[in-house]
Amino acid sequence: MKKWIALLALTALLLTACGATPVSVPEKEAAGTTAAAFAAPAPTAADGYALEIGGVRLAPGAALTDTADALFGAPQDVQTAPSCIHDGDDTLYTYADFELVTSPGASGETVTSIAVLSEAITTEEGIRLGDGIEAALAAYGEEYSEAESAPDFGRYVFVRGATSITMMTDGSGAVTAIAYAVH
């Protein structure tokens, strides 16, 4: 339950940072504009963090392509809100195991964040929801920023290149939320 609260708070923060209310837009999906695979080159230390799902490497900062329906199926939900940084709307695509937030970019939609929703998803470094923070520290290293987000909750932010991965933990040290973002 705690992981859902943390994840919902993270999603609300991403979509309402400008004070706008997210708006559900099922007609966007019906028009054929759905989240897509994010083509990213093979990883290097400078490329940043990415998440592989169904053989597709999703990376914050990468542009959308037109193959997501074939790879992930149609999103369960699509919401938009005015972008805080760019002209146009940011879009939240919700799938069963993950969420993608995109922003308008020079060549179309660009991924700004990815949130893991299920224990079925494992990071490229081998961490999943429910693992202990000790395993995450072993996988990601000791260079992170840490802040108490609330009593009995921890927040660990790891930065690589232009991306970050944030992990929230509960009082027992179990990872309850994982989110990737453009840093």
Q: Quick one: 102 and 144 in the same domain?
A: no
128 in a structural domain: no
126 in a structural domain: no
Q: Quick one: 81 and 53 in the same domain?
A: yes
Beta bridge partners of 155: 147, 168
Greater confidence, 20 or 55?
Answer: 55
Q: Quick one: 37 and 109 in the same domain?
A: yes
Residue 63 structural domain: 2-116
Domain C-terminal end among 90, 116, 142: 116
pLDDT at 76: 94
Domain C-terminal end among 116, 144, 164: 116
With residue 32 as reference, give the H or E element that holds it: none
Q: Quick one: 99 and 14 in the same domain?
A: yes
Q: Quick one: 150 and 95 in the same domain?
A: no
- When divided into structural domains, the chain yields a total of 2
> Mean pLDDT throughout 111-136?
95
Tallying the residues shown for the chain, one arrives at 183
Q: Quick one: 101 and 57 in the same domain?
A: yes
pLDDT in tens, 149-183: 565 688 999 999 999 999 999 989 999 999 999 98
pLDDT at 12: 40
Q: Quick one: 14 and 59 in the same domain?
A: yes
pTM of the model as a whole: 0.75
Task: List for the chain the helix, strand, coil content (%; round to 5).
Answer: 20, 40, 45
122 in a structural domain: no
